[in-house]
Amino acid sequence: MTSSEQQGPWRNAKIERISQLTPRIKSFFLDVSELASRRAGQHISVRLTAPDGYVAQRSYSIASAPRADTVEIIIEKLEDGEVSPFFHDIAEVGESIEVRGPLGGHFVWGPADGGPLLLIAGGSGIAPLMAMVRAWAADPTEEVAPKATMAEPRPVPMPVLLVCSARTPADLPFHAELLELEAARPDFTFIAVTTREPPPRHSDLGRRLDAAAIADVLARWDHKPRHVYVCGANRFVEAVANGLVDAGIPAAHIKTERYGGA
């Protein structure tokens, strides 16, 4: 079986909706009913074919929850990119594009996997982590507390901490949705990290997410993560993963997904 056969056939997906997420990132909602069985953390491949036959292909993580009616991907505009300018400047609602997937089986999580869950994103790297947050919020698995003397086991919440780093508050994807979720769910904690402007809240961080900042974040959270997912550009992921290990998180508990570039 070829790798193409393993990844499944190319399908046409109609763009149902486009939303401006940040000044440089747009959300695209695709109607692909065949992807209903996807897992949080997976991605799809997108293929564009120019009139002269030139083909460009990119992979985009799925940001929507596994059971969502449409597949949401987020695309940051890169001035020298081949694919992102098409989506930002040309693509319209109702247009069809070619997609294949869902793909990926390593960087995935579901409520049955349990927690506590620590998610750390850099910029558009929040996409697969957002799918995990939404899967957790839609169908949280309640873990069983250790049995106490003269008491029956009782369910306890599964805590989740999401840390997202961006240049400015305006560059934080899904910021309003995450604040709303944090206000509604005491077992969900959101920390925004901004590197070029002051953070939006006192509880957020206005510095790079280095080892000292990671240690600070973990010290605030009253939980020891069982699963850790880090997604972003190569340099960001490398720094965060090293900082987590320095903070005492076992490397075996950390899964990473890296985008190209710095």
The Cα 81–Cα 96 span in angstroms is 20
| pLDDT of amino acid 149 | 43
| pLDDT of amino acid 144 | 42
pTM, 2 dp = 0.90
| pLDDT of amino acid 180 | 97
The Cα 254–Cα 118 span in angstroms is 9
Instruction: For CA atoms 87, 90, 91, 96, give the dihedral sign.
Output: negative
Q: Which of 212, 169, 173 lies closest to 193 in space, CA to CA?
A: 169
Q: How many CB atoms lie within 10 A of CB 105?
A: 9
| pLDDT of amino acid 51 | 87
Residues of the chain with pLDDT under 70: 1-7, 34-37, 140-156, 260-262
